[in-house]
Structure 1
Amino acid sequence: MQEPQFDLFERDGRVQLVLRGAWTVSQIGSLDEALRAASNGLDSGNRPLIDCEQIAELDTAGAYLIDRTIREITAETPDIKGGEDAQALLIQARTVATRIEEAPKITEPGHGFIDLLERTGRGALHLWEELVESLSFFGAMLVSVAGVVLRPHKMRWTALVAVMEESGLDAVPIVAFLSFFVGMVVAFIGATTLSDFGATIFVVELVGFGLLRELAGVLAAIIIAGRTNSAFTAQIGAMKMRQEVDAMTTLGLEPMDVLVAPRVLAMVLMVPVLTFVAMVAGIAGGMTVSWMALDITPTVFLNRMQDYVPATQFWIGMSKAPVFGLVIALIGCRQGLQVGGSVQSLGQHTTKSVVQALFAIIVIDALFALFYMELGL
């Protein structure tokens, strides 16, 4: 391989650079200082000339070194004489170098009142964009689920059953365990407070109304949001990183039908089941505390609950569960499909998925409470 050589001179008011040999990354290391020394003192307002006719080989490293040398002499765009490949590499080097030089400077965020308003406005705009994109994804998801329901042969039953087992049945122990202790805590609080008024018997109504109407459904949804929602995002995000989702699209498979629809249907079916488990376990915890601390036997507890806690409270709590399941699956799948090609992106979207799901659960529960309050229930 020929060693790179050059002649750099000024003739007729024009800087000329004549190149010979192989200008590749493995050969040009010794030419850096020589080019800088040769370019000192050269200054011309005319367009320089780069003669590449005698170049044996040129790569991007050599093209950058040549272009840097010319830019240190003059800002004029050079005329290039030589092969088409050499001309293309030199033009590309000039374009990339110019783009880097013109990159905007990174400014530190301010801490004044105007900066606060700017960040607030930017956050509000981002929230609005997230809402619009979520509604768009919700519409696409409804179309996909409706298509699968109307044409059951398109449903991937194996995936549906697997998700139901993973997100539903496997979560029963932790939901029952935590709900049992929440029921005990509610009963303890009621016993401590109501004993001052001699009304400890009303612990039964406190446990019944609190768990059936609010706590059981919200607790089950929060557990699923932390346990299953993050799993959905991580699973789909890992598939995005390995380009499996792109492969599905190439094979003619719709990711919404393959990945989203089974998870949405599984959550809509299993969250009500987990909510029912939470209700039963929570009432059992409250009954245990009432029996041990207040001498209210299980028979008295259940009879009083049947007499004074209407079944409407049970159906109010159960009515929220499918909505919670739908929102959890929607957020988890959407964030998973937005994961980029890096592990950092996967972690960011998994965190965002859990936070958004918890926020949505609390907001939806508040909206349900207002709705049922207006109905007088």
Structure 2
Amino acid sequence: MSASPDTAPPSGPAARMTLDGHALRVSGALRIDTVDRMATAQVPDMSGVREIDITALSHVDTAGAWFVLDLQRRAGAAATLRGASPAQAQLIETIRQNMPPDEATVERRAPFGDLLESLGRTSASYARTAVDMTGFLGQVIATLAVLVLRPRRLRLISLVHHMHEVGVRAVPIVALMAFLIGVVLAFQGAAQLRQFGAEVFVVDLISISILRELGILLTAIIVAGRSASAFAAAIGSMKMREEIDAMRTLGLDPISVLVVPRVLALILMLPVLGFLADLAGLIGGGLMSWIELGISPAVFQSRLLSGADVWHYAIGLIKAPFFAVIIGITGCYQGMQVEGNADSLGRMTSASVVLAIFLVIVADAVFSIFFAVLGV
């Protein structure tokens, strides 16, 4: 882009800068071929400059106009520009209007429209995931229906292996967790109920809390952390190595071979783990009640049998298969979404744990509202 009539064919002396007190005088031809040399070798200290005089400039092009503005920026807001011809002033003003803003003054605020767009995209992504997981659940249910009609297709060895992995291996951590939860409930309940002379009701607090809610919920959360991640990692690794594509080529259904045994193992073992968690929680609560409140095991057992309705235990068992399906479907679905790289495997494994725990808590809340409405 040419500046003006001043930017005739290059001629005249090369550009020079002279510092005269508080004034910087620029002379000669300030063109694209001289700007770089001046910028690297001739720019003086601009801290004391209050005026930039370009009266002696013979030629100015776009690069030269930018250089003049850059000098003014370095000198500060108080520096004035003097001596520009009308054509030069017009060019310099045009360049000034198109200069990028100073980074320090740029406000990095997302416009409201961008926030709405981001919210919409995120909501659409979650909706697509929900639809895809529902379809995946439908495939698993259809495969289970076929296995009910043709039991010989069930891979019994795989089922037993996964029952051992998700059930037997989880017993120590589940029992320890429930035992400590029972201890904490008894200790905290005793501290509060002692103020009202109602220590004996700590038994009701422990039994209802563990049998109805905490036993199965915390068990499901632990199993989600163990099993959902394991399912996603195992199936995702097979997806990365294209073993699932090879299975389809051989005429094997990945849902039947990989998913159904894992989901069935969880459905069968989670109620067992829930029962063990209830038992360990009651033992821990009874032990702490004996130590802290002097409630003997016999009194604890008597109060437990008289105060805890059988429905409290039944409600926990009713939730268990639903939690198992949620954990199994989430872990296997995320494993199927793994792409051909390790980063995808890590992301999907983490997502399986987070999503499984979130859905388990949501399902527990729904069950609590449902049973409260029924008055159970």
- TM-score of the aligned structures, taking structure 2 as reference length: 0.71
Q: Which residue of 2 aligns with 1:367?
A: 366
One-letter amino acid of the structure 2 residue matched with residue 342 of structure 1: N
In structure 2, what is the Cα distance between the partners aligned to 1:347 and 1:160? 26
| Structure 1 runs of 4+ with >4 Å offset | none
Provide the secondary structure at the position in 2 that maps to 1:245. Answer: helix
Q: Which residue of 2 aligns with 1:329?
A: 328
In structure 2, what is the Cα distance between the partners aligned to 1:311 and 1:318? 11
Matching of residue 289 in structure 1 with residue 288 in structure 2:
yes
Q: CA deviation at 1:149?
A: 2.3
Q: Which residue of 2 aligns with 1:40?
A: none
Q: Which residue of 2 aligns with 1:174?
A: 173
Q: Which residue of 1 aligns with 2:5?
A: none
Q: CA deviation at 1:134?
A: 0.9
One-letter amino acid of the structure 2 residue matched with residue 145 of structure 1: L
In structure 2, what is the Cα distance between the partners aligned to 1:337 and 1:149? 24
In structure 2, what is the Cα distance between the partners aligned to 1:281 and 1:374? 30
Q: Is the 8 A contact 1:222 1:358 kept in 2?
A: yes
One-letter amino acid of the structure 1 residue matched with residue 140 of structure 2: M
Q: Which residue of 2 aligns with 1:92?
A: none
1:138-185: CA deviation from partner (whole Å, max 9, x where unpaired): 101100111122211101100000000001011001000011001111
One-letter amino acid of the structure 1 residue matched with residue 314 of structure 2: W
1:109-149: CA deviation from partner (whole Å, max 9, x where unpaired): 96232221111111111111111111111101100111122
1:206-258: CA deviation from partner (whole Å, max 9, x where unpaired): 00000000000101000000011100000000001111111110110000000
Q: Relative to structure 1, is the Cα distance of residues 110 and 263 closer, same or farther in structure 2, using a 3 angstrom cutoff?
A: farther
Q: Which residue of 2 aligns with 1:201?
A: 200
One-letter amino acid of the structure 1 residue matched with residue 191 of structure 2: T
One-letter amino acid of the structure 2 residue matched with residue 314 of structure 1: Y
Q: Relative to structure 1, is the Cα distance of residues 332 and 110 closer, same or farther in structure 2, using a 3 angstrom cutoff?
A: farther
1:81-123: CA deviation from partner (whole Å, max 9, x where unpaired): xxxxxxxxxxxxxxxxxxxxxxxxxxxx962322211111111
One-letter amino acid of the structure 2 residue matched with residue 235 of structure 1: A
Q: Which residue of 1 aligns with 2:89?
A: none
One-letter amino acid of the structure 2 residue matched with residue 218 of structure 1: L
Provide the secondary structure at the position in 2 that maps to 1:301. Answer: helix
Provide the secondary structure at the position in 2 that maps to 1:296. Answer: coil
Matching of residue 317 in structure 1 with residue 316 in structure 2:
yes
In structure 1, what is the Cα distance between the partners aligned to 2:272 and 2:145? 22
In structure 2, what is the Cα distance between the partners aligned to 1:131 and 1:216? 28
Q: Is the 8 A contact 1:187 1:203 kept in 2?
A: yes
In structure 2, what is the Cα distance between the partners aligned to 1:351 and 1:110? 31
Q: Which residue of 1 aligns with 2:277?
A: 278
In structure 1, what is the Cα distance between the partners aligned to 2:283 and 2:138? 40
Q: Which residue of 2 aligns with 1:147?
A: 146
In structure 2, what is the Cα distance between the partners aligned to 1:148 and 1:370? 34
In structure 2, what is the Cα distance between the partners aligned to 1:258 and 1:324? 22
Q: Which residue of 1 aligns with 2:248?
A: 249
In structure 1, what is the Cα distance between the partners aligned to 2:293 and 2:353? 39
Query: How does 1:89-238 map onto structure 2 within 5 Å?
Result: 111-238=110-237
In structure 2, what is the Cα distance between the partners aligned to 1:189 and 1:147? 50
Q: Which residue of 1 aligns with 2:45?
A: none
Provide structure 2 residue ranges, at least 5 long, that are not aligned to the other structure. 1-107
Q: Which residue of 1 aligns with 2:32?
A: none
Q: Which has the larger radius of gyration?
A: 2
Q: Which residue of 1 aligns with 2:299?
A: 300
- Percentage of identical aligned residues: 48
Provide the secondary structure at the position in 1 that maps to 2:363. Answer: helix
Q: CA deviation at 1:322?
A: 0.5
Q: CA deviation at 1:314?
A: 0.3
Q: Is the 8 A contact 1:148 1:261 kept in 2?
A: no
In structure 2, what is the Cα distance between the partners aligned to 1:130 and 1:268? 23
1:256-293: CA deviation from partner (whole Å, max 9, x where unpaired): 00001101110000000000010000001100100001
One-letter amino acid of the structure 2 residue matched with residue 131 of structure 1: A
Range 352-361 or range 122-131, more displaced: 122-131
